[in-house]
Amino acid sequence: QSQLSQALNGLSDRAKEAKEFLVQLRNMVQQIQENSVEFEACLVAQCDALIDALNRRKAQLLARVNKEHEHKLKVVRDQISHCTVKLRQTTGLMEYCLEVIKENDPSGFLQISDALIRRVHLTEDQWGKGTLTPRMTTDFDLNLDNAPLLQSIHQLDFVQMKVSSPVPAPPILQLEECCTHNNSATLSWKQPPLSTVQVEGYILELDDGNGGQFREVYVGKETMCTVDGLHFNSTYSARVKAFNKTGVSPYSKTLVLQTSEGDNSSSSEHVPNTQSEEQTLPFPVPLERSQLRRMSPFSSTLNLQPSFSGRSYFELRSSAHQLSLHSSLQSLNSAGCNFETQGSPYSQLGKFDIKKMVAVAWFSFDPSSAHADIIFSNDNLTVTCNSYDDRVVLGKTGFSKGLHYWELSIDRYDNHPDPAFGVARIDVLKDAMLGKDDKAWAITEGGITKGATVGVLLDLTRRTLTFSINEDQQGPVAFENLEGLFFPAVSLNRNVQVTLHTGLPVPEFYTSRSAMP
């Protein structure tokens, strides 16, 4: 009985596990059904998007066919009109000559015969070679090459999802490596010692110094970053998180940094509290950290404002080599988000090798706020329009402080009408030329040509707007006393196509003027 009872207990445990397993399987059935409905809806949406794109392309191709059709008809009709006039003149001359031949007065005939003979030969020569040859063929010399697209459609298939690795653990801020100096802050972090999860990069965020919203100031593989250009006598909060292909880690503990009251503050040592959830590292800092800051100087034009987009361009230079890193963070809203990182290969830099770091806004045109007639391409960096009327498109990033410069290259332009370039409020009129209302500040330059480059310099420290064409400043400051939030803006029609270039240094004509007393 004892043995049977023990065996029954083991079997009872297995039966209990089996019941729980059946519940799990039934839940899986329901989850599979729900996932199937969701996946089917996603598949239909993706296929519908392809069909919409194909229909738009079909409309564009039909427009080209109609254009060729109208051109052929115009050429043939013009030739019909020309030949009809000439035939009428020839027929009239023939009838007149027949009447003259019937003339019975020899002297009268001789008086006009020579002139008529010359006229007949001249008219005959006008019907020379090529006159009676059609100037246009009836065939349409257009051949649609759809083989690559058909092949792509046949190859359209599902990509097998790989089993993803876990998201990284929260990074640890290395307090002994973090410091502030004047209006700069250096932060250092590392992964937890026992963490084995692969990390692809880190995201450093700072607030605006007034307890406002956090903004990304660095995205990359380095574990140390210095941010310059902060406000003096201000308190900034910083945090960092790690990411890989699976997703984003939780944030590290928040570190509070205090910038100095002026450029020549004294130094003294302070050890932050590592136990609190919010760690504070006020200025002054230890002397040895100030020496590190001088050995590893960074400069930055970063504007930590709520309008800053968080997508940055970083250029790093060292004494031994030059390199560049372009980092763009596309979405960080969920644990299953995807990252896109664009950049050239680079070698690992030591903490003391970096010579200079420059961060400036890197943005594109904004389809969500643009007029419906605007056509986007080249990752929303190139725009044109399908309307003969002026339409407005804005940049994705708005600016409220700092110095910002971008350029627009003229890819296509037929000299009518002139495009306009400048800045605008978010609620500017989208169906009129830029500058027609009181929510835009723009230049309409008739001197530009295809291939020209228009530079726009927005200095919100001086509250001015300046323009240049092919690196030549266009007169003095165009607009002054600018305050508020401004977005890069362009107005154009279907005869104009422009491409946006951002992440550029401030032009020499402005920096030299700024250096003048």
444 strand-pairing partners: 420
**Which residues have a Cβ under 8 Å from the Cβ of 103 and sit 6 or more positions away?**
109
Whole-angstrom distance, CA of residue 323 vs CA of residue 462: 33
Quickly tell me which residue has 């963490």 as its tokens.
Answer: 195
Backbone angles phi, psi at 477, to 5 degrees: -60, 130
Whole-angstrom distance, CA of residue 434 vs CA of residue 429: 8
The first and second tokens of residue 165, run together, are: 């690795």
Whole-angstrom distance, CA of residue 374 vs CA of residue 76: 35
Taking phi over 0 as left and psi of -120 to 50 as alpha, with beta for the rest, 379 belongs to left
The first and second tokens of residue 20, run together, are: 């729980």
- What pLDDT is stored for residue 387 in this prediction? 86
**Which residues have a Cβ under 8 Å from the Cβ of 233 and sit 6 or more positions away?**
259, 260, 261
pLDDT for 116-155, tens place per residue? 899 898 888 888 777 788 888 888 888 888 888 888 888 8
- What pLDDT is stored for residue 124 in this prediction? 87
> What are the domain boundaries of the chain?
1-127, 172-259, 374-514
Secondary element (H or E) of residue 340 = none
Would you list the DSSP string of 172-235? Answer: EE-GGG-EEETTEEEEEEE--TT--S---EEEEEE--SSS---EEEEEES-SEEEE--PPTT-E
Within its chain, how far is the Cα of 239 from the centroid?
Answer: 27
- What pLDDT is stored for residue 60 in this prediction? 93
**Residue 312: which of 217, 184, 200, 204 has the closest Cα?**
217
Q: What share of the chain is helix, strand, coil (3-state, %, to 5)?
A: 30, 25, 45
- Pairing assessment for the beta strands 278-281 and 254-258 based on DSSP bridges: parallel
Is pTM beyond 0.75 here? no
Instruction: Output the CATH code of domain 172-259.
Output: 2.60.40.10
**Residue 175: which of 162, 188, 165, 166 has the closest Cα?**
188
- What pLDDT is stored for residue 277 in this prediction? 40
**Residue 514: which of 470, 457, 469, 472 has the closest Cα?**
457
- C-alpha angle with apex 376: 374 to 381, nearest 5 degrees? 120
- 338-345 contacts: CB < 8 A, separation 24 or more? 338/245, 339/200, 339/201, 339/243, 339/245, 341/200, 341/201, 341/219
Whole-angstrom distance, CA of residue 100 vs CA of residue 118: 14
377 strand-pairing partners: 382
For the chain, the residue count is: 517
The pLDDT profile of the chain, 517 residues, written as one tens digit per residue, is 899 988 898 899 889 989 988 988 998 898 899 888 888 888 898 899 999 999 999 999 999 999 989 999 999 999 899 899 989 999 999 998 988 888 788 888 888 888 889 989 888 888 877 778 888 888 888 888 888 888 888 888 887 655 556 889 999 999 888 988 877 889 999 998 878 888 999 999 999 888 888 989 899 999 999 888 788 788 889 999 999 988 899 999 999 888 877 544 334 333 343 333 444 333 333 333 333 332 222 323 333 333 333 333 333 222 222 222 222 222 222 333 333 333 333 333 333 332 233 335 678 999 988 999 999 998 899 999 988 888 999 998 888 888 888 999 998 887 667 789 999 999 899 988 888 888 899 887 666 788 889 999 998 888 899 888 888 887 777 788 888 889 999 999 888 999 999 878 787 766 665 544 4
Is domain 374-514 annotated with CATH 2.60.120.920?
Answer: yes
